[in-house]
Structure 1
């Protein structure tokens, strides 16, 4: 992985064999990012995404292996209890044009992933919400 910062924008290249969430965390910690928006595209060959069932307060995950193009990868970096916290969603299409997606749990790059991190001046922490069972934005 390599990246370069331009004021409040970071352009990153995540390379073959690297896991996207792990590399994003490295960048965020190295750059002391407390709040940001994420957008990316690329190619992956092993990924897990999930869907949250609110009535059960539980995530269900689906794993995929093969040739996939990221059609959308978007999300946020924030903090929870002052520590790094990322929340990303991804959709990826196969050679038939079928697209699968959801909450991103894991994605291994097969060729390259190009990511744009838009750093936002400020900080938004998260707090656990009993009603939904999710960690939601907490505004002071």
Structure 2
């Protein structure tokens, strides 16, 4: 993985065999990112995405192996208990055009991944919400 920072934008290349979430975390920690928006495209050959069942307050995951193009990878970086926290969703299509996606748990790059991190000047903490069972944004009252 390599990346370059331009003002509040980071352009990164994640290479074959590297796991996207691990590389994103490495960049965020190295650059001390507290809040950002994420977008990416690329190709993966091993990924796991999940769907949250609100009535059960539980994620259910699906894993895929093969040739897939990332059709969309988007999300946020924030903090929870002052620590790095990422929330990303990914959709990827196979050679027949079938697309699978959901909450991103893991994705291994098969060729390349082009990642754009837009750093936002600020900080938004995540907190556990008992009603939904999710870690949600909490905004400080001014």
TM over 0.5: yes
TM-score after normalising by structure 1: 1.00
**Equivalent position of 2:27 in the other structure:** 27
1:77 corresponds to 2:74: no
Q: Which contiguous aligned blocks of 4+ residues in structure 1 show a shift greater than 2 angstroms?
A: none
Matches within 5 A, 1:56-75: 56-75=56-75
Show CA shifts across 1:42-66 (max 9, x none): 0000000000000000000000000
Give the total of aligned pairs: 140
TM-score after normalising by structure 2: 0.98
**Equivalent position of 2:127 in the other structure:** 127
Matches within 5 A, 1:1-140: 1-140=1-140
Aligned residues: CA RMSD: 0.2
Give structure 2 stretches of 5+ with no counterpart. none
Give structure 1 stretches of 5+ with no counterpart. none
Show CA shifts across 1:63-98 (max 9, x none): 000000000000000000000000000000000000
